[in-house]
Structures are given as structure tokens and as C-alpha cells.
Amino acid sequence: MQNSYRKAKFLLSCPSLKGCPDDNGYEVIFAGRSNAGKSSAINTLTEQKKLAKVSRTPGRTQHLVFFELDEQRRLVDLPGYGYAKVPDAVKQKWNQNMSEYFDNRNCLKGAILVMDCRHPLKPFDEMMLQWCINNDVDTNILLTKSDKLKKGAASSTKLAVKNTVKDIPNINVQLFSSLKKEGVSELCQYLDKIFELNNES
């Protein structure tokens, strides 16, 4: 299966909703706690080692970063959240920006919620998930770093997360490993579904 996401290219970076591209087409966001492997997941998906910058200091990136697939489709890398060393004022600003993004961005069609499979569904993950639910955003929970666990433990974690969200519509749960390139085809299929469904509507 051909990976169309390798065509992704950097479009722009902005600190708030005011600098975003025009609110048309279709966007899928990547959101996750700092150090959950979000940037690595984007780079693995797009087969580009340096498309999304991997910071050595978690929580440093505070911009929305847009990657263009074509004139209609974009991937959006949201600032990493939940890192203790980020000042409270920065956290509050992030909270405000994300709330505005979810409430006002009509082209938002899907979300990839990136969670370290060893530490899923932390309070900030649950907050992001609730935002997605409140705004009827299709969501794929990406349990990263699955190579850090034995297969049985990783599968058990996936099952536990699926059981937690089983009563919520339009939520998928999958394992992912940037190191071993596992889960890439499933992520591609999920993104294809989101973009194709909205393109047909």
C-alpha cells in the first residue's frame, strides 16, 4: 500500500489561532504529552526524519505546526502538554489556544492522541480526549513506544484503554512503535478514512 503521507511538507508555525491557515479543507491534529513520542510518530508516518522537530527539552515547543499534504489536507502538530517545568502562564495560554482551536476550527476533522503505552490516559490525555468528544472529532489513540513492553503487556494495555473508551463513539485504539515501524499501516488507514469520509460529505 502506497504511503501518501510521505508527501507532507512544512507549511507554517504559529503561536495562536490568529496565524493559522484559512479555515477550509481538512485537518487532523497530533496531540500528546511532552515526551510521548508525538514528533517521532509524525516523522515515522511521513518517512521523513526531520519533518517534525524532536526537542531535547520536553515542553519547549509552544506553536501549532502545520504540514501540508495537498491543497485540501493538513496535519497539525500541537504543542506538547502536561510537562511540569513549563511555567503556569504558558500552560494557561496553551489551554486557551487549544480551547479556541477546538471551538472555532471548522476544518478540524480528526485527532491522533499520542500516549506512551506505558503511561496512558493521564489527566491531560483525558482532557484532550474530552475536547475531542465535546466537538465530535473522530479520534485515534496512538499508544506509542510499544517496543518498550513485551507483546503480551502491550496488548493488555491496548485492551484496557479500549475498555475504558468502549462506550464513546468514533474512537480507535492502536499500538505504535517508531523504532520498529509498527502500526504505521494502521495509522495510514485511519487517516485515509478520515480524509475520505470528509471529502465525500
pLDDT tens sequence across 131-178:
999 999 999 999 999 999 999 999 999 999 999 999 999 999 999 999
**Sequence-separated contacts (24+) of 84-88 with Cβ below 8 Å:** 85/58, 85/59, 86/59
Is 70 exceeded by the pLDDT of residue 69? yes
Q: Are 41 and 78 in contact (CB under 8 A)?
A: no
Sign of CA dihedral 137, 24, 114, 79: negative
Is 60 exceeded by the pLDDT of residue 201? no
pTM (predicted TM-score): 0.93
Is 80 exceeded by the pLDDT of residue 100? yes
What confidence category does residue 56 fall into, taking pLDDT thresholds of 50, 70 and 90?
low
* Domains of the chain by residue range: 4-200
The C-alpha atoms of residue 14 and residue 66 are separated, in whole angstroms, by: 9
Q: Which CATH number fits domain 4-200: 3.40.50.300, 3.40.50.620, 3.10.310.10, 3.40.50.720?
A: 3.40.50.300
Residue 77: name the closest of 88, 63, 91, 87 by CA.
63
Q: Are 67 and 77 in contact (CB under 8 A)?
A: yes
Q: What is the mean pLDDT of residues 30-47?
A: 93
